[in-house]
Amino acid sequence: MSKIMSFTKIALKNLVSKPATTSYPFEPKEYPERTRGHVVLDDDPCILCGMCMRSCPPGAIKVDRAGGTWAINGYDCIQCGYCVEKCPKKCLSIVPGYTEPSSEKTIQTVKVEVPPPPKPAAKPAAPKPAADKAPENKE
């Protein structure tokens, strides 16, 4: 039983009803809460143990113990969440909102102050900026 133009009904219905198209980018997109957008570090609990660096499949995270920095290359991270799972301190989380496209592959670096284990910290840590708010951009 062949028909010609059997799609007509659907086509005409589509023609008169509202298109399925989103209004992005004119209106922001709302993401479901589980969306894996990018990894953020809560630098407070981080001990710069480097577990995340070692477990990250593409090697997007660099933990510099000596320099006291934790850095992520958002252009290398595959949002797998393995670092989040592995972090012993549970200080990583993966949240909605993707790394913005840009013409440079910037690395976000967060200064992490780890209280040296033997002695208490010399200086009380000033309130740390959140990773995604004030990243230090480095090539």
Partner 1 sequence: MMCKIITVVAFIILAPFIGGLLDGIDRKLSARMQGRKGPSVLQPFYDLKKLFDKQFLSVNKMQLFMVISYLIFMIVTGAMFFAGMDLLMCFFVLSTVVMFLILASSSTHSPFASIGTHREMMQMMSYEPMVLLTAIGFYLATGSFKVEDIIKMDKPAIIMLPGFFLGFVYILTIKFRKSPFDLSASHHAHQEIVRGITVEMVGPEFALTTLAEWYEYVFLLGIVGLFFVNSNPISYVVAVVVAFAAFFLEILIDNTSARVKWQLMFKLTWIISLVCGGVNLLILEYMR
Partner 2 sequence: MNSIHKSPWLLHYDGSSCNGCDIEVLACTTPVYDVERFGVVNTGNPMHADIFLVTGGINTQNAEVVKQIYNQMPNPKVVLAIGTCACTGGVFKECYNIQGGVDTVIPVDIYVPGCAARPESIIDGVVKAVALFKEKSKDGDFVEVDEVPGDEEAETEETVAAVETEGGEE
Partner 3 sequence: MAKRSIVPFGPQHPVLPEPIHLDLVLEDETVVEALPSIGYIHRGLESLVAKKDFNEMAYVTERICGICSFMHGMGYCSTIEKIMGLEVPERANYLRTIWCEMSRLHSHLLWLGLLADAFGFEALFMECWKIREKILDMFEESTGGRVIFSVNKIGGVLKDMPAEMLADFMKRLDGMQKELKKATKVFMNDYTVKSRLEGIGILSKEDAIACGAVGPMMRASGIEVDMRKTGYAAYKDIDFQVITSDRCDSYGRCEVRIGEIFQSIEIIRQAIAQIPDTELSVMAKGFPKGEAFVRFEQPRGEAFYYSRANGTKNLDRMRVRTPTFANLPSLVKILQGAQYGDVPLLVLTIDPCISCTER
Q: In this structure, is the dihedral angle defined by the CA atoms of residues 48, 139, 105 and 25, taken in order, positive or negative?
A: positive
Interface pick for ligand SF4 out of 35, 37, 47, 136 (rule CB under 6 A) = 47
Give yes or no for residue 98 binding partner 3 (CB under 8 A). Answer: no
Which is nearer to partner 2, 69 or 79 (by Cβ)?
A: 79
Question: Out of ligand SF4, partner 1, partner 2, none, which partner does residue 81 contact, by CB within 5 to 8 A per kind?
Answer: ligand SF4
**One-letter amino acid of 72:** I
| Angle, CA of 35, 130 and 117, to the nearest 5° | 115
Give yes or no for residue 9 binding partner 3 (CB under 8 A). Answer: yes
Q: Which stretch binds partner 1 (CB under 8 A): 3-11, 42-50, 85-93, 120-128?
A: 3-11
Interface pick for partner 1 out of 1, 2, 20, 33 (rule CB under 8 A) = 20
The helix (run of H) or strand (run of E) holding residue 14 is helix 8-16
The helix (run of H) or strand (run of E) holding residue 86 is helix 82-86
What SS3 state is found at 52? Answer: helix
Which is nearer to ligand SF4, 50 or 134 (by Cβ)?
A: 50
